[in-house]
Amino acid sequence: MKKKSNITREHVIALRKAANLTQAEAAEMILESTASWVAMEKGRRIMSEAQMELFKVRVARRRMSEELKRTIVRAAGLGLLTADSPESRAFFANVAALCPQLSGSPK
């Protein structure tokens, strides 16, 4: 027998707002349509525990990627990374391998 989720509509709304996402962005995080997310926020549909965990993991990954981007930009601004050095090329290759959603090195 399938366990019923106890995730309330208020919890769904709070999750999205805490992540600073639109309904469409939040829906994309859990591979659902915007209409499905809206239905969860209105209490017409229940978010599963698995969807909540997926949402949390993807939000955490997005935050880490954004922090990594800021760190790279700061390092480049301080002259710690230059586009022409072998160290920088190796660094950016490693970043690209770890975080494929990051596009290129800072200019």
Residue length of the chain: 107
* Token reading at 53: 């965990």
Indicate the domain borders of the chain.
9-98
Helix (H, G, I), strand (E, B) or coil at 84: coil
Give residue for tokens 């919890």.
Answer: 11
Largest CA distance in the chain: 60
The pLDDT tens digits along the chain (107 residues) read 556 778 999 999 999 999 999 999 999 999 999 999 999 999 999 999 999 999 999 999 888 888 877 777 777 666 666 666 777 777 777 777 766 655 444 43
Q: What is the CATH code for 9-98?
A: 1.10.260.40
C-alpha to C-alpha distance for 21 and 77, rounded to whole angstroms? 29
pTM of the model: 0.68
